[in-house]
Amino acid sequence: MSSRRPVFAIIFILALTIIDASLGFDYGEAVDKSLLFFEAQRSGKLPGTQRVKWRGDSGLYDGYQQKVNLVGGYYDAGDHVKFGLPMAYSVTMLSWGAIEYGRSMMDLNQMGHVLNAIKWGTDYFIKAHSQPNVLWGQVADGDSDHYCWERPEDMTTPRTAYKLDIEHPGSDLAGETAAAMAAAAIAFRPYNSSYSDLLLVHAKQLFWFADRFRGLFTDSIPSAKEFYTSSGYSDELLWAAAWLYRATKDGSYLKYVVDNAASMGGTGWAVKEFSWDNKYAGVQILLSKVLIDGDGGAYTATLKQYQAKADYFACACHQKNAGYNAPMTPAGLLYLHEWNNMQYAASAAFLLAVYSDYLSAAKSVLKCPDANVQPQELLVFAKSQA
């Protein structure tokens, strides 16, 4: 009865548009369909430009009882709960795709759709972040929602809204939402600088709230526990700071990830999974880019430790990690969890494609315990997962 069928499972394909179509896969069509999927998941008042015509307005009174406008955002899956954590992670990843592969998106005439998909999330987060230290983190309840299968246009199930505040903190959820806003700010900068600035204001406030008032969001919103239990918030704090650094180049965020590298596990955790719950590999690869770009300065030693863990992730996925590899099916699909495994294979493929590009730009190779791996080989591996 779990509802972990998140909307973000397919978006990795965004990354793969850069890959040639020589195998006969039309990655461009896959991108188009992925973005249509996001349109089908839209909650709220739909615009005239809506392409998925069978979806109508829904959830128009979300937040009404609580006197806050929470109309909009994305439904989680086949259900109609708006879960903040996976929604924010989806928006972070969409934004990352747009940042790294904007040129391909433009060549495919998809950039407008990508930005609209991001904005459908960030416009909602702006509403949900109704005060500097208040973030509405969920609308509706999984149990009552799942009890009744119906179209969102017709739903009669409770639309209770749940919030975080200083007495009910949630550093994971607020941190991920900060990361989403910061990443979206970068994606929007060339297209709408005032919107980009607005997103950054929210990102900074949310990061401060997440960092200053520590806690697991599921302790504050217990209704989320059964569906999206977070295993910790340190990764989201580092992730938010890493994105804020990339968005602002403000050295205080880089100092944060360096000062907290050990205590928050950023340089300690060697992981084989990247997901809505576990952001460490993403942090490690993002920070590797700072080093690769030659911007490490006084922090170079710590950033090298981050990159060593990024290498661990990439080598483990690529099965070249002296036996400490990510589990795989006999036919070569990464197989991390029994439930909804595709999202883990997909997000790993995305990270490896990005890391391959970073290494390639630096004319560098991935040094694994079992072999040196060319950036191109990592890309081939990412393709194999697709």
Ligand X SMILES: *[C@@H]1O[C@H](CO)[C@@H](O)[C@H](O)[C@H]1NC(C)=O
- Least separation in angstroms between residue 109's CB and ligand X is 18
By CB under 6 A, name the one of 22, 49, 156, 194 that touches ligand X: 194
Angle among Cα 352, 353, 356 to the nearest 5 degrees reads 80
Q: Which of 68/198 has CB closer to ligand X?
A: 198
- Least separation in angstroms between residue 377's CB and ligand X is 41
Stretch that binds ligand X, among 153-161, 188-196, 244-252, 313-321 (CB under 6 A): 188-196
Report which of 15, 34, 16, 37 is spatially closest to residue 25, judged by C-alpha positions.
16
Dist. CA 124–CA 70, nearest whole Å: 7
Report which of 284, 274, 280 is spatially closest to residue 307, judged by C-alpha positions.
284
Q: Which of 21/106 has CB closer to ligand X?
A: 106
Stretch that binds ligand X, among 14-22, 153-161, 187-195, 236-244 (CB under 6 A): 187-195
Q: 44: which strand partners?
A: 58
Residue recorded with tokens 């954590």? 85
Q: Which helix (H) or strand (E) holds 263?
A: none
Q: Which of 192/376 has CB closer to ligand X?
A: 192
Q: Which of 125/253 has CB closer to ligand X?
A: 125
Stretch that binds ligand X, among 109-117, 191-199, 255-263, 348-356 (CB under 6 A): 191-199
Q: Which of 192/252 has CB closer to ligand X?
A: 192
Q: What are phi and psi of 71, to 5 degrees?
A: -80, 130
For residue 162, give the DSSP letter.
E
Please give the C-alpha separations between residue 366 and each of 306, 308, 314, 315, 338, in angstroms, as whole numbers.
Answer: 14, 10, 8, 8, 29
Total length of the chain: 386
Q: Which helix (H) or strand (E) holds 366?
A: strand 366-367
- Least separation in angstroms between residue 193's CB and ligand X is 8
Encoded one letter per residue, x for contact with ligand X by CB under 6 A and - for no contact, window 136-175 reads ----------------------------------------
Q: Are 351 and 16 in contact (CB under 8 A)?
A: no
- Least separation in angstroms between residue 125's CB and ligand X is 13
Q: Which of 6/44 has CB closer to ligand X?
A: 44
Q: Which of 201/308 has CB closer to ligand X?
A: 201
Q: Which of 22/194 has CB closer to ligand X?
A: 194
Q: Which of 98/264 has CB closer to ligand X?
A: 98
Query: What does the DSSP assignment read for 163-181?
Result: EEBTTB--HHHHHHHHHHH
Q: 82: which strand partners?
A: 139
- Least separation in angstroms between residue 295's CB and ligand X is 29
Stretch that binds ligand X, among 194-202, 210-218, 292-300, 330-338 (CB under 6 A): 194-202
Q: Is 49 in the site for ligand X (CB under 6 A)?
A: no
Give the interface size with ligand X as a residue count (CB under 6 A): 4
- CB neighbours of 265 closer than 8 A, spacing ≥ 6? 232, 234, 235, 280
- Least separation in angstroms between residue 194's CB and ligand X is 5
In angstroms, the first-to-last Cα distance of the chain is 27
Q: Which of 27/188 has CB closer to ligand X?
A: 188
- Least separation in angstroms between residue 331's CB and ligand X is 46
Dist. CA 218–CA 136, nearest whole Å: 13
Q: 373: which strand partners?
A: 366
Half-sphere exposure of 176 (CA within 13 A, CB side): 29
By CB under 6 A, name the one of 65, 109, 131, 192 that touches ligand X: 192
By CB under 6 A, name the one of 195, 209, 256, 344 that touches ligand X: 195
- Least separation in angstroms between residue 265's CB and ligand X is 36
Of residues 196-225, which lie at the interface with ligand X (CB under 6 A)? 198
Under the rule (CB under 6 A), what is the footprint of ligand X? 192, 194-195, 198
